[in-house]
Amino acid sequence: MDDRRPTYNDYNYYSYNKPPKKRGLFSYFIVALVAALIGGVISAYIAPTYLYGRLMPIPEIYKNSGSTISNEIKITPTEDISAVTAVAKKAIGSVVGITTVQVQRELIWEREVQGVGSGVIVDSNGYILTNSHVIGDGKAKKINVLFENGDKAEGRVLWNDSALDLAVVKVEARNLQVADLGDSDNLEVGQLAVAIGNPLGLDFQRTVTSGVISGLHRSIRVDEYNIMEDLIQTDASINPGNSGGPLLNNKGEVIGVNTAKIKTGEGLGFAIPINVAKPIVEQVIKEGDFNNVYIGFQGTEVERYERQLGIDLHIDSGVVVIEVLPDSPAEKANLKAMDVIVKIDNQPIDSMIQLRKILYKYKVGDKAVLTIYRNGKEEKTEIIFSDFR
């Protein structure tokens, strides 16, 4: 019999080196179950929020499913957003503010009224295109032009037409930044449209708003005797101070002159096509003035007339005479209501805007031969243009 007492090393031996006990199948089942539960929690809740995209790559199932990972949401600028920024940088230096002082008569006294609008530089030597109503239809007592760099200059009206709501103002300046003029004849609904101007006065100078061209060839009645035709409609925000400022395309080219002369509903703005203004600007810069000729009738396109009234005029194109104004060149040329003008000096006429553009080629006193359809027969008549009344 061994009377030796166990030592520390004996305990050490038995504590760390004895063979392990055999485990049953139930023990392995419990371990596997717990591991599965922990893995499910990590996969469903912890990994998407804290691990994917940081320590682990995002699985394809998250990329392609409707599930999103909150800290991985990114807003990528679209093409239109970047285009608006580029347009603003290119064109904003050619946009000016215009302030006016107008005299308003009230009963037996007069008072001075201040006005604010916008304009766009069309020639480096100080020629600025704006709306006629911005400069009081030529009756403003004082006109000041404010440039982007803070300079100011006194302006004077070279030409204006209240019916077109266009005007050209001249300031004594050189080397100004000139806007590029685009082509408004090739516009399509849905194109990007950017407006720049002073919507609520000089406190909001050169505000940029954007939208799309939401309509073309719009006609709006301004008052009892004046209808503005073939306007560009846009949902870019246009307020009174925007008047005279440019409407631009995605290339930063001026495609229209914004006008807030028309009272509209929310989300509707209108601009005068730049192609209407181009011949005027060219002549004013060249000769210092522009004298537009006058026919004296109200009309509309054949297609529009047929569509609105549901009738067939049995002619493909032309301009329908709706009303002949008294003592006008049209009346003296024996034009009558329901005549369809199809040519001026053999130049085909398809629309009112085309007719107006062709008339810019004529001067007061010029003669032209109109080809018309009356009661289904072709006739010709001579007209002598006078100045606008």
- Alpha-helical (H) ranges within the chain are 8-17, 25-41, 60-64, 79-91, 274-287, 302-309, 329-332, 352-359
In terms of CATH, what superfamily is 293-387?
PDZ domain (2.30.42.10)
Whether the domain at 88-287 and the domain at 293-387 fall into the same CATH topology: no
Gap between the Cα atoms of 231 and 229, Å rounded? 6
Fold observed for domain 88-287: Thrombin, subunit H (2.40.10)
Helices 274-287 + 352-359 axis angle, to 10: 10
CA-to-CA separations, 306 to 130, 216, 269, in angstroms, rounded = 35, 18, 27
**Percentage of the chain modeled with pLDDT above 70:** 75
Point out the residues that are catalytic.
133, 165, 243
Going residue by residue through the chain (389 aa), what tens digit of pLDDT does each one get?
444 444 434 333 333 334 444 455 556 556 565 566 666 555 555 555 545 445 555 555 444 444 444 444 444 556 555 789 999 999 999 999 999 998 877 777 878 888 899 999 999 999 999 999 999 999 999 999 999 988 999 999 999 988 789 999 999 999 999 999 999 999 999 999 999 998 766 767 788 999 999 999 887 877 655 667 789 999 998 888 889 999 999 999 999 999 976 665 667 889 999 998 998 999 899 988 887 788 999 999 998 899 889 888 889 889 999 999 999 999 999 999 999 999 999 888 888 877 877 887 788 889 999 999 999 899 999 999 987 65
Rg (CA), the chain: 37
Domain limits of the chain?
A: 22-64, 88-287, 293-387
> Using an 8 Å Cβ cutoff, are 184 and 234 in contact?
no
> Using an 8 Å Cβ cutoff, are 274 and 255 in contact?
yes
